[in-house]
């Protein structure tokens, strides 16, 4: 099988580029509830955003509904979705990957121990009240705004 040498070719679109981020060189930025994050990427074209979350023991995400599917990879620690396995939910440990379907509700997402996870959402998340009414929205623009306010400006 012959391979074509492409080393001297320009991309078809000069705006396209690979993205590489040295996450260990980024500062953690306050996200809420003691949780911190590092922004990896936002995509205005389709609303996708990707982050690393640093979640201290005992922290949790507020109740929310996904308006775009989410994916995670637990790098260290432990995450309990919907109360964890003992409550009929999911307990994700270091090395576990999970997919969260569009329109899924998460009433209880806890971190019983210090946890770092990669998270990507393909659209916004709506934070909900006790009656499932959306009271706040987190989308790529809001994530970027929080990141920039934390002293790490990025376009």
Establish if 65 belongs to a structural domain: yes
Establish if 30 belongs to a structural domain: no
Q: What percent of the chain is modeled with pLDDT above 90?
A: 78
pTM for the full predicted model: 0.86
Pairing of strands 105-106, 59-61: unpaired
The set of residues, in sequence order, having a beta carbon less than 8 Å from that of 125 and lying 6+ positions away, is 64, 65, 66, 67, 68, 70, 137, 138, 139
Instruction: Give the chain's domain count.
Output: 1
Establish if 155 belongs to a structural domain: no
| Chain centroid offset of residue 140 CA | 10
83: CATH: 2.60.120.10
pLDDT tens, position by position, 90-115: 999 999 999 999 999 988 899 999 99
Establish if 96 belongs to a structural domain: yes
**What is the span of the domain harbouring residue 120?**
40-149
């Amino acid at each position: 099988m012959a391979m074509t040498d492409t080393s001297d070719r320009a991309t078809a679109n000069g705006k396209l580029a690979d993205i590489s981020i040295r996450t260990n060189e980024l500062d953690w930025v306050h996200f809420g509830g003691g949780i911190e994050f590092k922004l990896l990427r936002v995509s205005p074209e389709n609303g996708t955003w990707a982050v690393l979350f640093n979640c201290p023991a005992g922290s949790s995400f507020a109740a929310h509904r996904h308006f775009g599917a989410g994916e995670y990879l637990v790098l260290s620690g432990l995450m309990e979705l919907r109360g964890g396995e003992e409550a009929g939910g999911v307990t994700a440990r270091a090395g576990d990957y999970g997919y969260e379907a569009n329109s899924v509700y998460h009433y209880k997402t806890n971190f019983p121990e210090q946890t770092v996870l990669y998270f990507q959402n393909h659209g916004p998340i709506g934070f909900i009240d006790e009656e499932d009414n959306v009271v706040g929205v987190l989308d790529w623009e809001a994530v970027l705004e929080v990141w920039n306010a934390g002293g790490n400006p990025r376009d």
